Amino acid sequence: MLLSMYQASAPVFIQGLKALRGLLHKAQAHADAHGIDHLALLQARLYPDMLPFNRQIHLCTDFAKGAVARLAGAEVISFPDVEIVFDDLIGRVERALAIVESFTAEQVDGSEDRDITLMRRGVALVVKGQPYLLEQAMPNFYFHLTTAHAILRHNGVPIGKKDFLGTA
């Protein structure tokens, strides 16, 4: 049986976004239980030249909702990157999740050879759907999800692999 573009995208992003939502809830509860300043955790980084935790959430949601919309040939809904508190970041994940869940297999399947136009530093780059999903969207989504998880773990939030996978 072949794996369809829908199967390779939307359900995977949905699982990851649900895991991300869970990470945010656990991080907020941990901060509250231990008197940790929320802003300190939300601005935490693994290294000074890396983006802070809240930006990892922004980018993770952007890659999920943007990838499925592009594969479906739909307009990508843009979110301003203004969330700096847990509740707002959880809301952003919920909005991205709703967008990804709104697409059907019929909209996404067959997008392997669809032209996807990306803007990179003001230059248009056209790639095909399957390479876009497998070589750009998925690696970027998982990079930011992994980094968000690592930042929280590094800062003492009691999370593990099950939380990352969304099965905790």
pLDDT in tens, 84-124: 899 999 999 999 999 999 999 999 999 999 999 998 889 99
Long-range contacts formed by 142-147: CB under 8 A, 24+ apart: 142/16, 144/56, 144/57, 144/59, 144/60, 144/63, 145/16, 145/19, 145/20, 145/56, 145/60, 147/46, 147/50, 147/51, 147/56
Full residue range of the structural domain in which residue 90 is found: 5-165
Domains identified in the chain, total number: 1
> What is the predicted pLDDT for the residue at 1?
58
Looking up residue 14, the CATH number of its domain turns out to be: 1.20.120.450
56-81 pLDDT tens trace: 999 999 999 999 999 999 999 999 99
pTM for the whole structure: 0.95
Return the residue matching tokens 């969330």.
83
- Of all residues in the chain, what percent carry a pLDDT higher than 90? 94
Q: Are 132 and 67 in contact (CB under 8 A)?
A: yes
Q: Sorting pLDDT into bands at 50, 70 and 90, what band is 166?
A: confident
Query: What pLDDT is attached to residue 80?
Result: 94
Say which residue, 157 or 1, is predicted with more confidence.
Answer: 157
pLDDT of residue 168: 66
Span 133-148, mean pLDDT? 98
Average pLDDT for 37-63:
97
